[in-house]
Amino acid sequence: MRQCSHNNGSVTIARPDERLALALLAPAIFAMTFLIVLPIGWNLAIAVQRVTLMSLRDGNLLNPFEMEFTLRNFTRVMGRNDFWPLVLRTFVYATLGAGLATLVGLWAALVMHRPFFGRSIVRGLLFVPYVVPLIAATFLWRTILAPQYGTVNAWLGVLFGTSRIDFLGARSFDVEIFGFSFALPMALTMVILFEVWRYFPFAYLFILARLQAVPKSLEEAAILDGATISQRFRYVIAPELKGVLLLVFLIRFMSSFNEFSNIYLLTGGSGGTEVVSVQMYQWLVGRGDPGAAAALSLVLAAVLAVTITLYFQLAMRGRTAL
């Protein structure tokens, strides 16, 4: 029946465990398979064929014996000379967006960790960027940042006497700080900032949950030892959070990489903000070429998978368990 043996402090139980595990996971796997994995397979199938809108109605697309393989979709999609710059730009957008959102979320979690007067209200407020409907959020940002009637520009003019800045339209903007001047990709920067603003509550949520689970005793011991706040953070709290920080970053990275609506609603993909998802939408809906869109998505998925593995390895160096 049950055999209890101790390996590394964990119990290994033989076959009854497997049955139970499968039973527990079965509903989840079932749902995911039918509604996610099958569609991905479907996309694989049409990526290697020449597909038009009406041919999607055909069952033949999935019949291996009737398929006509072609790599045409891939060559067309990757052959455009703006392809790799697009990928790079998407990569930068996703990395900065996810990274900064995670850091700001960490900041928020640390600030909100201990009680203070009015904390519950602030906690609710922190979710506003995340909860506001996307259409509202993008409309608000476009209005606030508008050159002519936007509040930000009005105040900048009053306070600093600057002329109207076209935040969401300018491809690049010359910035002078402490004598150094460089060209800032303005629209891209604003789109990244929007991403950070919108998703830091997500990071905050998960980081805070993990933070709350850190036993108070650990910190108390450190205080008794005379550690300062920064030391406590560095040696006690941070190690506990490494796992969730990486997790949050990876999740946000994957989401941002495939992000479409945010950018489309803010800038329409202009001003240097065109990312790959925008192009995919154009292939699928604008040109009515599902095959090319599917091929593009596969290429992106590959890029994404490679990137995630790389980030993962980088972060896991020197650690044994997540």
Distances (CA, A) of 261 to 186, 206, 278, 293, 314: 19, 24, 9, 17, 30
Nearest to 216 by CA among 236, 187, 230: 236
Among 67, 83, 99, 129, binds another protein (CB under 8 A): 129
Q: Is 202 in the site for another protein (CB under 8 A)?
A: yes
134 lines the binding site for another protein (CB under 8 A): yes
Residues of span 84-123 touching another protein by CB under 8 A: 107-108, 111, 116, 120-123
Q: Which of 5, 217, 313, 320 binds another protein (CB under 8 A)?
A: 217
Which residue of 83, 173, 281, 311 would you call a contact of another protein, by CB under 8 A? 281
Q: Closer CB to another protein, residue 115 or residue 179?
A: 115
How far from chain centre, in Å, is Cα 88? 15
Evaluate whether 47 touches 295 at the Cβ level (below 8 Å): yes
Q: Does 148 bind another protein (CB under 8 A)?
A: yes
State the pairing for strand pair 10-12/180-184. Answer: unpaired
- What are the backbone dihedrals phi and psi of residue 207, each rounded to the nearest 5 degrees, phi first? -70, -40
Determine if 288 is a binding residue for another protein (CB under 8 A).
yes
* CA proximity to 101, closest of 209, 188, 201, 211: 201
Question: Any idea what DSSP says for residue 239?
Answer: H
C-beta of 241: minimal distance to another protein in Å? 12
Least separation in angstroms between residue 152's CB and another protein is 9
Size of the site for another protein (CB under 8 A): 127
If the CB atoms of residues 88 and 134 are measured against another protein, the closer one turns out to be 134
User: Given the complex with another protein, which of 96 and 130 has the nearer CB atom?
Assistant: 130
Is residue 5 involved in binding another protein (CB under 8 A)?
no
Residue from 86, 103, 205, 315 touching another protein (CB under 8 A): that is 205
- The nearer residue to another protein, 35 or 180, going by C-beta atoms, is 35
> How far apart, in whole angstroms, are the C-alpha atoms of residue 106 and residue 100?
10
Give CB contacts under 8 A, 24+ apart, made by 183-189.
185/272, 186/271, 187/267, 187/270, 187/271, 187/272, 187/273, 188/89, 188/92, 188/93, 188/271, 188/272, 188/273
The one among 71, 84, 235, 287 contacting another protein by CB under 8 A: 287
CB 268 within 8 A of CB 286: no
Q: How far is the CB of 50 from another protein (least distance, A)?
A: 10
166 binds another protein (CB under 8 A): yes
Q: Pattern 28-67, binding to another protein, x per CB under 8 A?
A: xx-xx-xxxxxxx-xx--------xxx-xx----------
Q: Which of 97, 269, 291, 299 binds another protein (CB under 8 A)?
A: 269
Is residue 242 within the footprint of another protein (CB under 8 A)?
Answer: no
Structure tokens given for 37: 């994995």
What sign has the CA pseudo-torsion 282, 287, 288, 292? negative
Q: CB 179 → another protein: shortest distance, Å?
A: 26
